[in-house]
Amino acid sequence: MYDLDFDRIDRKILGFLQEHGRASNLEVAEAASLSPAQSHRRHRRLEEQGFIARYETRLNAERLGLSVVAFIHVGMEKGHIRDLKKFTDLIVDLPEILECYSVTGDFDYVIKVIARDLKSLSQFLMDKLMRLPGVNSVRSSVCLDEIKCTSSLPLPE
């Protein structure tokens, strides 16, 4: 368990930054009802204590011609432990893979993939994913409609 060393003002700052990542220090200060100097000190402290992992820009996938999202369950061969490091090292280098999780259940991993179209997805599956060391089976589900997609976390009270 982490010792959550922050108060309601820190929660205000974190909540505001989750929704307004490019906000100026003045905007953050106004949202948290602080002076700019106090806001800046708290913001830096939250970064230094690891509450803020990184800053990023979310691109519009459709505008970039990436219209197919799929969730793929990957099953590894029995005894795949020796190939695990090779597999995970290769997974992180595949730009089509947006997220990868080791999971419980019938499969070993769930990955989120993005592609231009179904043909590109098929090529990725056949030419890249299924050729990775230790991969025994894959089952994919193509996303029909995005209902909710966020990276904002619920903040503890």
Rounded mean pLDDT of 105-110?
Answer: 94
Q: How large a percentage of the chain has pLDDT more than 70?
A: 96
Decide: helix, strand or coil at residue 25: helix
Q: Are residues 41 and 88 in the same domain?
A: no
Q: Are residues 81 and 125 in the same domain?
A: yes
Q: Are residues 137 and 73 in the same domain?
A: yes
* DSSP characters over 101-113: EE-SSS-SEEEEE
Q: Are residues 72 and 108 in the same domain?
A: yes
The residue among 6 and 39 whose pLDDT is bigger is 39
On whether residue 113 sits in a domain, the answer given is: yes
The pLDDT value given to residue 3: 55
Q: Are residues 78 and 121 in the same domain?
A: yes
Backbone angles phi, psi at 34, to 5 degrees: -125, 165
Q: Domain span at residue 126? A: 68-142
On whether residue 4 sits in a domain, the answer given is: no
Q: Are residues 42 and 90 in the same domain?
A: no
The pLDDT value given to residue 52: 95
38-80 tens-digit pLDDT: 999 999 999 999 999 999 889 999 999 999 999 999 999 887 6
Give start and end residues of each alpha helix (H) in the chain: 8-19, 25-32, 36-48, 81-92, 118-123
Q: How large a percentage of the chain has pLDDT more than 90?
A: 83
On whether residue 36 sits in a domain, the answer given is: yes
* Rounded Cα–Cα distance for residues 84 and 76 (Å): 9
CATH number for position 14? 1.10.10.10
Q: Are the beta carbons of 31 and 38 closer than 8 angstroms? A: no
Q: Tokens 């089509």, residue?
A: 96
On whether residue 154 sits in a domain, the answer given is: no
Residues 6+ away with beta carbon under 8 Å from 76: 83, 84, 87, 108, 109, 134, 135, 136
Domain total in the chain: 2
On whether residue 149 sits in a domain, the answer given is: no
Residue 1: pLDDT over 50: no
122-146 tens-digit pLDDT: 999 999 999 999 899 999 999 999 9
Q: Are residues 78 and 109 in the same domain?
A: yes
Edge-to-edge strand ranges of the sheet holding 109-115: 97-102, 109-115, 68-76, 135-142
* Rounded Cα–Cα distance for residues 135 and 42 (Å): 46
